[in-house]
Amino acid sequence: MDINGPIIVIEDDPDDSLLLQKALDELSIENEIKVFSTASHVLFYLETTQDRPFIILSDINLPGTKGT
């Protein structure tokens, strides 16, 4: 875990994603926030980046996933 790493948000609902980003902004968190709308996009990112995320916040009912 890298406390300076990006915060990863996985959320397919644009309204929920916006609310979460606003909440993080109000907390004055300086970490970069990276938002993904699908599990496949975030998996590709995590497999190909050198970034070490600080935290991952995920919707648990993403389309196209079985929760496994």
pLDDT in tens, 16-59: 999 999 999 999 989 999 999 988 899 999 999 999 999 999 98
So what's the pLDDT on residue 3?
Answer: 87
**Structure confidence at residue 46 (pLDDT):** 95
Q: Between 68 and 47, whose confidence is greater?
A: 47
CA separation, residue 23 to residues 10, 50, 58 (Å) = 15, 27, 15
Domain range summary for the chain, segments of one domain joined by +: 7-58
**Can you give the pTM of this predicted structure?**
0.83
